[in-house]
Chains A and B, each alone.
Chain A
Amino acid sequence: MKQIFRTIINENPLFVLMLGLCPALAVTTNFESSYMMGLCFLIVLCVSNGLISLIRKIIPDNVRIPVYILIIGTVVTILELLLNKYVPKLSEQLGVYLSLIVVNCVVLGRALSVASKRDIVYTFKDSIGIGLGFTISLMLIGSIREILGANTITFMSSLSELTGYRAIYKVYPDMSLLPNPIFVSGAGAFLVLGFLIALFKVFKKEDNHESN
């Protein structure tokens, strides 16, 4: 438990390591697609790194990167097919970014640095920590962008095909400057992430002072 929590904070892929930016900026236009992207990422990370950790002793060293990419690619393809079948609207929303998990630096980086060396229990804990950290940061970015940009928060819209519920809420009465569509547009993603990272730095520094 402690290990998972530590990975979420100290090795947060987005705010600390600055990896996996493409999905973080592209699909966070609303809250729902952000947390679904995070969940897909978490599943791919856990399954593929678990597999890699299981067969790490059989894979010859000089072909390990292609083998890892193949394993990750297979997991992503299976996930794509499942989403296509059950929630086609959502998979349309995530678009190519779902397939692009294959070349996500976080997944491959963790495969090389953790899964290829450690046993499955450690790898699994690490994957959950990294995946949750990524999901939480995506949810943060997604909610900020949607609240500021569209004045709504979407808990369930494309998923309603599966669950039957729809949950989209208005957050505050409209004002003259807000909601501002710039936050939902592509450029706004950079702005929100920039400020969030600066904020994260402030908190991290305070943590260090306390521990000293």
Chain B
Amino acid sequence: MNLISILMLSIFTENIVLTKFLGMCPFFGTSNKEKNALSMGFSVMIVVVLSSLLTFLIYKYILVPTNTVYLRTIIFILVISAIVQIVEIVLKKYYPIVYKNLGLYLPLITTNCAVLGTVLLASNSNYNLIETLVFSIGSSIGFTLVIYVFASIRERLEHCQIPKNFKGYPIALITAFIMALIFSRFIGV
């Protein structure tokens, strides 16, 4: 599979949020405002790319040779939480302005299934290093794109008249339904 098709696949047709249902909590939780959605998206992007590279190396050069593949889930979650901590420290020290914008979202990312999900999916599909990199970038772009579009729709929904019982999550889920329909039609493109 060539790199461009992996990129397109991970952004659109196999979007991690709308077709794989990963990262649902931030998708519904932090997507009230466009700005929050972008910050969340960027923090996820940093962590996903770094952790998928590191876990790829660990998986290939430590877990497979020593025959301990079954430890994958535990090792991966440890790597992700370590990376989140390191990113937080580095940002705090060298880029305080960025940290001020993203700081709130970083700790939440450890338990964000979008990160662990992407890493596990990449290691399941036997990508090599460059393919893993492209897949993780594509997935996080897809995540950011969907969460941003969703947030802007929800901002506009607030001014609409919605039946009382559908206010809040139900209408958000139905919006997501329509978006998922649109994204699933990208298959033929």
Which chain A residues have a beta carbon within 8 Å of chain B's beta carbons?
Answer: 18-19, 21-22, 25-26, 66, 69-70, 73-74, 76-77, 80-81, 95-96, 99-100, 102-105, 108, 182, 185-191, 193-195, 197-199, 201-202, 205
Contacts and interface: CB of A to CB of B under 8 A. Distances in A.
B180 interface: yes
Interface of chain B: mostly helix, strand, loop or mixed: helix
Contact of B184 (A77, A185, A199): A185
A60 B8 CA distance: 46
Given A108-B111, A190-B173, A194-B177, A22 B24 contact: yes
B180 A103 contact: no
B120 A96 contact: yes
B176 A96 contact: no
Interface in B158-189: 163, 165-166, 169-174, 176-178, 180-181, 184
Interface residues of B, number: 41
A21 to B, nearest CB: 4
B35 interface: no
Interface of B: 18-25, 28, 70-74, 77-78, 81, 110-113, 116-117, 120-121, 124, 163, 165-166, 169-174, 176-178, 180-181, 184
A197 B169 contact: yes
B21 A189 contact: yes
A21 B120 contact: no
10 contacts: A22-B22, A26-B21, A77-B70, A103-B116, A186-B21, A187-B177, A190-B180, A191-B177, A194-B169, A198-B166
A13 to B, nearest CB: 12
A190 B174 contact: yes
- Most chain B CB within 10 A, of A19, A81, A105, A205, is at A105
B132 to A, nearest CB: 15
B159 to A, nearest CB: 20
